[in-house]
Amino acid sequence: MARTMTNKSGWIGKVFFLDLLHGLSLTLRYMFARTVTHMYPDHEKWIPYSRHRGHHFIKTNDEGDVNCVACELCSKICPCDCIIVIPFEDAKGNRRPQVFDIDLARCLYCGLCEDACPADAIKLGQEYEISATTTEALVVHLEDLIAAPGKAENGGQVMPAKLITPDKTALKKTGKDTRTHSVTVEGTLKAAEGYDWWQRIRK
Ligand code: SF4
Ligand code: SF4
């Protein structure tokens, strides 16, 4: 932007420091713009656009079987070598994955596995809250991939959310915290009371 402006204004721009003035005016504008503080994760969370590539999920058909035919193409094309597929033949004589592991710690979220899949089975969803304290916990299995959320109907919004805090009562009684430490979205997308974050920041 600044380079284009210099080219356009030529020596006049250089003499009158137009680039500098343009930068200062931008700073000044943001000084008086409305402050936007994203209250993540306690009160709200961002739903990414549908093109976002997050946690993988495996699609299932109407009969509840996975679409995956364990052809291993995703595993072969993966540049990080982070997918392990071991096929087996199910009771109906279909080739299915017995083991389907993805090491999310190595994954680039490039989407090549999704592009290579001939059965429209593997997709990269919108889940981005996948942090863990050990690398072992980042290896997801077939059941995790089936249960993982898919694409939201419409992303690009801030949703009401709440943080699940440690269950202190359960911790005292059993020594174990039975609750998952993650963020859940309250309500559905249709019931969203969020606002368009990008619209607000541009005001
Ligand atoms: S998104 Fe890319 S890096 Fe990750 S599992 Fe798929 S192909 Fe491999
Ligand atoms: S997810 Fe797709 S590409 Fe990967 S093994 Fe299954 S059918 Fe093949």
Asked whether 116 lines ligand 2 (CB < 6 A), one says yes
Residue nearest to atom 8 of ligand 1 (CA): 78
Question: How far, in Å, from the CA of 133 to the mean position of ligand 2?
Answer: 29
> Which residues lie below 8 Å from residue 177, measured CB to CB, with a gap of 6+?
166, 167, 170, 171
Together in a domain, 110 and 72: yes
The mean per-residue pLDDT over the stretch 146-152 comes to: 87
Choice between 13 and 40, residue whose per-residue pLDDT is larger = 40
By DSSP bridging, strand 183-185 and strand 157-163 are antiparallel
pLDDT, tens digit, for every residue of 69-105? 999 999 999 999 999 999 999 999 999 999 999 999 9
What pLDDT is recorded for position 123?
A: 96
- Together in a domain, 113 and 147: yes
pLDDT in tens, 161-185: 766 665 666 666 666 555 443 434 4
Q: What is the pLDDT of residues 40-70, one digit of tens each?
A: 888 888 888 888 999 999 999 999 999 999 9
DSSP string, 102-131: EETTT-----HHHHH-TTS-EEE-S-----
Q: Are residues 144 and 83 in the same domain?
A: yes
| Single-letter residue type at 169 | T
Same domain, residue pair 146 and 89: yes
Q: Is the CB of 70 inside a 6 Å radius of any atom of ligand 2?
A: yes
- Contact 78 CB / ligand 2 (< 6 Å): no
Q: Are residues 95 and 114 in the same domain?
A: yes
- What's the domain count of the chain? 3
| Most confidently predicted of 9-18, 143-152, 154-163 | 143-152
Q: Do 78 and 135 share a domain, yes or no?
A: yes
pLDDT at position 145: 96
Domain housing 10: 2-31
Residue with CA at minimum distance from ligand 1 atom 5: 107
Ligand 1 center to 111 CA (angstroms): 6
Q: Which amino acid, one-letter code, is at 114?
A: E
Is pLDDT above 70 for 4?
A: no
Residues 27 and 77 in one domain: no
What lies within 8 Å, CB to CB, of 176 at 6+ separation is 170
In angstroms, the Cα distances linking 3 to 6, 130, 135, 185 are 5, 40, 44, 43
Residues 15 and 40 in one domain: no
Q: How many Å apart are CA 72 and CA 77, to the nearest integer? A: 9
- Per-residue model confidence as pLDDT tens digits over 100-145: 999 999 999 999 999 999 999 999 998 888 888 999 999 999 999 9
Q: Which helix (H) or strand (E) holds 87?
A: strand 83-89
Residue 103: give its domain's CATH number.
3.30.70.3270
Together in a domain, 157 and 147: no
Query: What is the number of alpha carbons within 13 Å of residue 20 lying toward its C-beta?
Result: 6
Q: Model-level pTM?
A: 0.70
Q: Among 85, 107, 144, which is best to mutate for testing ligand 1, by the most ligand atoms less than 8 A from CB?
A: 107
Give me the pLDDT at residue 116, please.
Answer: 97
